[in-house]
Structure 1
Amino acid sequence: MSQPTDSSAHAASPTDADAFDASFDGHAPPLRLAVIGAGPAGLALALLAARYLPQAQISLFDARPLERDVSGDPRTIALSLGSVQLLQRLRVWPASQAQAIREVHVSQAPPTLSSPFFGPAGEPEVRISAAEQSVPQLGAVLPYGHLVAPLQAAWQQASALEPHRLISRFGQPVDAIKQDRPDEVEIDAGIAERFDLAVVAEGGVFSDQARKSLTHDYRQNAWVGTVTLSPDSPVGVAYERFTRRGPLALLPLPDRDGQRRAALVWCQGQDEDEVAGLTDAQRLTVIQHQLPERVGRLQAISPLKCFPLGLNAERTLVEGRRIRIGNAAQTLHPVAGQGLNLGLRDAFALVEALRRDPQVDTALRRVEWQRAPDRWATILTTDFLARTFAWRWPGLPAARGLGLAALQALPPLKRALAGQMMFGRR
């Protein structure tokens, strides 16, 4: 049995369970909750449950050793306003490390219909600003490590205050999850232990995942990295550009050493993907050519990493006494940028349902029903958009352009889209 590699990581033991059970008088039996995966979704769920489910004993499992420093992980996370507000409520939002999104600009690159009614450049576009939506920001962007580090520190602090109730199991991978009784689930992490509920929050990327009930390989690659923008580039603007080969996105990052930066997500069809053979200068030239002029001049580009893209989703969140959240439930194309936001909304809904109804099965049915509209609207919309970039139908770019123009011209539709971007479907 592997053990946590840090003395502050508190491993579960029969003594812990006995001590916690002894604090109840039999009128309200404790909920034994296992959270598997200490990424952003799993940590947020564990913290929410620690705060709002005082009757719960929570064990947080992760194969990663506790002493492994996650703060330097440079992967970029885009969060909606609703996710930012949730993290602020948990007092773990690293505001100084994040760049607020003040405006989202979605447009389509030529060839497409052009018209003086479309926008300043005659191209179809949608512009959504925080000011017109009467909110301080539409969302925020920050490195993965700068999000996980304060979440993990908050969990460890809470665990130190209540070691019998909040149990850290870092450095202990979960080998199996079984259910042979209707009211319990068995977790095998070196030894078998029984819990009332297991939450699977381990995500991963599409290429490394076991296939779920619904799966589709888009045969697209996402090239990700960062670009340096010109000093006069607009601050806090997220760009998404629909190109013939796939979407191209720039997400604003905090300035570093006085330089304005943006995270790059550059999607290419695998049959046409020539990015690997390009030099940095050539990559900058190609990207610059595809972006709208208002972005300004790109100054530099980092090394890029490539990730194959696909849909990999379960039909349901709940299976017996096991529930999946975030990428463990659905891995999506990045065109909508909603993967982690879905996971955080899943976490909040689960804790709220358990807070309202201590009957686990009833609470799980509530979560399945409550989360379905938001979850399936996001899955289907993202899947549709991703598939359209592989289609070569005559008139498709024109139809997509007209759709963007209609959104920009009809404020009620744009408000509805902005609301879904910020808070999901409610």
Structure 2
Amino acid sequence: MNLAVIGAGPAGLALALLAAERLPRAHIHLFDTRPLDRDVGADARTLALNLGSVHLLQRLQAWRPEAAQAIRAVHVSQAPPAPVAGEVWMRAADLGVPQLGAVLPYGALVAPMQRRWLDVAARAPQRLFTRFGTAVHALRAQPGGVELDSGDAHLAERFDLAVVAEGGVFAEQARKAIAHDYRQHAWVGSVRLAAPGLQGTAIERFTRNGPLALLPLPDDADGPRAALVWCLPDAEDDIGALSDAQRLVVIQQQLPAVAGRLTGISALKRFPLGLNAETRLLQGRTLRIGNAAQTLHPVAGQGLNLGLRDAQALVDALRDAAETGRDLDAALARIDRQRAPDRWPMIAATDFLARSFAWRLPGLPAARGLALAGLELAGPLKAALARRMMFGG
């Protein structure tokens, strides 16, 4: 098999590494527009991984635990004013696992994955090819394959399968089959906290206008800190016009007591939010994974985890076809069916939550509070939900 992987972000690198390990006869070409000498380790964007994703990276020998903060508990609650506040605690200890997931900077995830790929590729140069600094301009369906135009000279190459793993952010994407602009945006940055900080607890707070999340980061020389994500409607932005000091006060007022006291805030960046998803992952011999297949609202923090599971499912299907001699097209055709029980509930759940913050129904805050309170009391249901968030469906 001649496989092209387009995009060397987390999903693309995971796919390339898995395919290199589990498809020993495959020729794998990893494309990315960024030059190989660009320092991806300096990218400070924050990523949240569930436990299943951590296990995958450990297996790929691309996990650096010293760069990550383990999530040992998640606290979900609703900010006042609300008739019923409601809160849910999910703790790793209650589920018999060492952690629920981890938080780390984008660069601290991608740089080790890229180094691992280069190491693996150096040991198999006859079948693993690193095509960094190479743009892919077009993909054209061919009988039994796909033709790819790449490089400055638009070189045409034929592959048995091309996997698009470069999705980008919602504002920059061409619209897919299912698309909805939520007319919301996320303010993203980091905050400083008074000691002892969050100590491995992730905070999800449902405010009147949208979800507010604090994700614990490893302490640095200046003490405890956390990543901040606050989603707000475009028409009701309480943050954009404020000074840093004012932002700190407003955010503190929205947080539960368990978050502790905020002592500082970084510059914040603003990102538009929307849903942009393909109904089918496969079109001919081109398949999409990760953000190229589904870009979700960040309310559940599951977009990257979903993309990594896309990569695993694809490699499993390709390996099964190679070992059993099954037709490649038949194996690929099953991908959409296999991924549906994982993809569609997550797409539907995040879409429902994102839209619900635009509703101004009188009883909605009470209903949300009652749902949180009921979930906290329903031990088996809470455990099942936690395990789905840790490992997918």
TM-score (norm 1): 0.90
Identity of aligned pairs, percent? Answer: 65
Q: Is 2:256 the partner of 1:292?
A: yes
**Partner deviation per Cα, 1:279-305 (whole Å, 9 max, x = no partner):** 000000000000001111101000000
Of 371, 388, 391 in structure 1, the residue corresponding to residue 356 of structure 2 is 388
Of 236, 252, 270 in structure 2, the residue corresponding to residue 306 of structure 1 is 270
Write the letter of the residue equivalent to 1:162.
A
- Asked whether the 8 Å contact 2:79–2:205 carries over to 1, the reply is yes
**Partner deviation per Cα, 1:93-137 (whole Å, 9 max, x = no partner):** 0100000000000000012124xxxxxxxx300100000010010
Residue 98 of structure 2 corresponds to which residue in structure 1? 136
- Asked whether the 8 Å contact 2:69–2:217 carries over to 1, the reply is yes
Structure 2 distance, partners of 1:407, 1:318, is 37
Structure 1 distance, partners of 2:180, 2:250, is 28
Residue 197 of structure 1 corresponds to which residue in structure 2? 161
Post-superposition offset of 1:51: 0.4
Correspondences of 1:137-176 after superposition (within 5 Å): 137-176=99-138
Correspondences of 1:269-418 after superposition (within 5 Å): 269-358=233-322, 359-418=327-386
Residue 184 of structure 1 corresponds to which residue in structure 2? 145
Correspondences of 1:57-136 after superposition (within 5 Å): 57-114=27-84, 123-136=85-98
SS at match of 2:136: coil
Aligned length: 386
Q: Is 2:174 the partner of 1:216?
A: no
- Asked whether the 8 Å contact 1:109–1:243 carries over to 2, the reply is yes
Post-superposition offset of 1:308: 0.4
Post-superposition offset of 1:366: 2.4
Post-superposition offset of 1:258: 4.6
Residue 21 of structure 2 corresponds to which residue in structure 1? 51
Structure 2 distance, partners of 1:325, 1:293, is 39
Post-superposition offset of 1:394: 1.0
Correspondences of 1:228-247 after superposition (within 5 Å): 228-247=192-211
- Asked whether the 8 Å contact 2:202–2:215 carries over to 1, the reply is yes
Larger Rg: 1
Write the letter of the residue equivalent to 2:387.
G
SS at match of 2:41: coil
Gaps of 5+ in 2: none
**Partner deviation per Cα, 1:237-278 (whole Å, 9 max, x = no partner):** 000000011000000000010510100001111001131210
Write the letter of the residue equivalent to 1:167.
F
Structure 2 distance, partners of 1:340, 1:294, is 27
Structure 2 distance, partners of 1:130, 1:203, is 32
Structure 2 distance, partners of 1:232, 1:78, is 21
Gaps of 5+ in 1: 1-30, 115-122
- Asked whether the 8 Å contact 1:252–1:261 carries over to 2, the reply is yes
Structure 2 distance, partners of 1:125, 1:412, is 16
Write the letter of the residue equivalent to 2:232.
Q
Post-superposition offset of 1:360: 1.9
Post-superposition offset of 1:232: 2.4
Post-superposition offset of 1:385: 0.3
Residue 6 of structure 1 corresponds to which residue in structure 2? none
Structure 1 distance, partners of 2:269, 2:160, is 40
SS at match of 2:93: coil
Write the letter of the residue equivalent to 2:115.
A
- Asked whether the 8 Å contact 1:240–1:248 carries over to 2, the reply is yes
- Asked whether the 8 Å contact 1:350–1:363 carries over to 2, the reply is no
SS at match of 1:175: strand
Runs (4+) of structure 1 moved beyond 4 Å?
none
Write the letter of the residue equivalent to 1:292.
P
Q: Is 2:219 the partner of 1:259?
A: no
Write the letter of the residue equivalent to 1:187.
L
Write the letter of the residue equivalent to 2:194.
S
Structure 2 distance, partners of 1:146, 1:60, is 20
- Asked whether the 8 Å contact 1:197–1:360 carries over to 2, the reply is no
Residue 36 of structure 1 corresponds to which residue in structure 2? 6
Write the letter of the residue equivalent to 2:146.
V
Structure 2 distance, partners of 1:98, 1:108, is 28
Structure 2 distance, partners of 1:253, 1:265, is 13
Write the letter of the residue equivalent to 1:76.
T
Structure 1 distance, partners of 2:222, 2:332, is 49
- Asked whether the 8 Å contact 1:81–1:137 carries over to 2, the reply is yes
Structure 2 distance, partners of 1:296, 1:233, is 7
